[in-house]
Amino acid sequence: MPALTALDRHKDKNSVIRRLSNIDWANWYRHCRLEKFEPDLPGSVFRFSSSKIIFPTSAIFSIAGESQCNELAESSMIGNESIVGAWNILEDAPYRISFFVQTGGFGIVIPTAFLRLEFIRSSTFRRLVLDNTVSLVHYANQTCVCYRHHSPQQQIAKTLLLTAHRIGGRRVSMTHQRIATILGLRREAVSLAIIDLARSHLVRQERGCTVITDFSGLKQKSCECYDRLVELLELRPQPSTSN
């Protein structure tokens, strides 16, 4: 498949780039690179490079806080509704942001230097960046509430549902260790919670993934953070119930 066709096809999968005018996209095109991202090893963490910005099309990233003893907890999950590294468009961060690839897939990678010029030139892109930055602040705030007040099972149900929304399906390719890393929980706690969900016929376990068998039932096991984040991020339509 020609590179032009592949890049244009993926461009339409990211909600930020999809809203650009044809003139803006034509100006962007020669600066874009389509890149495949593989899931990182459980427990691994990377510092985001300020030299590039990622517009996910099918990959899902976790932006994480890290303690001095290398313990992680996700502050936000970013998929094709947003931008990874938008903070670097505004200025060089005084610290590097920790992140990892939660779910493998593709993303469009663009140099930060070019996007900083576009941020000044294009009022449309400037508004998209500011809107997404505000959404990430609200996301992080809601995540703090969730960690403080909701049970591990509620957090796990929410994470499975939000991931399913982003991939547009019901097969969530995350191990128990991966979920534990994202949520800052012990792996044993994740396994017990998912076993309980499976006994209630809400999910089914397969090697390396969790299959959601009852979206409505799983939503009832989640917390109110799920509905708030779906509305905030405009994660529509509902995930498919087919295999």
Give the CATH number, domain containing residue 92: 2.60.120.10
Query: Are residue 155 and residue 200 in the same domain, yes or no?
Result: yes
Signed CA dihedral, 82, 83, 89, 92: sign only: positive
236 pLDDT higher than 90: no
Residue 240 located in a structural domain: no
6-47 confidence digits (pLDDT tens): 888 898 999 999 999 888 998 999 999 999 998 865 545 555
Q: How far apart are CA 179 and CA 203, in angstroms?
A: 15
- Could you tell me the pLDDT band of residue 243, with boundaries at 50, 70 and 90? very low
Query: Are residue 15 and residue 75 in the same domain, yes or no?
Result: yes
pTM for the model stands at 0.84
Q: Mean pLDDT for the chain?
A: 85
3 pLDDT higher than 70: no
Residue 17 located in a structural domain: yes
% the chain with pLDDT above 90: 49
Q: Does residue 188 contact residue 206 with C-beta atoms inside 8 Å?
A: no
Query: Are residue 71 and residue 186 in the same domain, yes or no?
Result: no
Bridge partners (DSSP) listed for residue 110: 53
In one letter, which amino acid is 67? S
User: Which tokens is 68 given?
Assistant: 């001095």
Residue 42 located in a structural domain: yes
Nearest to 148 by CA among 138, 140, 159: 140
Q: Looking at residue 226, what is its pLDDT?
A: 92
- Could you tell me the pLDDT band of residue 200, with boundaries at 50, 70 and 90? very high
Q: Looking at residue 85, what is its pLDDT?
A: 87
Q: How far apart are CA 158 and CA 208, in angstroms?
A: 19
Q: Does residue 147 contact residue 72 with C-beta atoms inside 8 Å?
A: no
Element (DSSP H or E) covering residue 146: helix 123-149
Q: What is the domain range of residue 35?
A: 3-146
Are β-strands 72-78 and 203-206 bridged in parallel, bridged antiparallel, or unpaired? unpaired
Task: Give the mean pLDDT of 62-66.
Answer: 76
Q: Does residue 160 contact residue 190 with C-beta atoms inside 8 Å?
A: no
Q: How far apart are CA 72 and CA 79, in angstroms?
A: 19
176 pLDDT higher than 60: yes
Residue 212 located in a structural domain: yes
Task: Give the mean pLDDT of 98-103.
Answer: 82
Nearest to 104 by CA among 37, 168, 161: 37
Query: Are residue 120 and residue 197 in the same domain, yes or no?
Result: no
Give the number of domains in the chain. Answer: 2
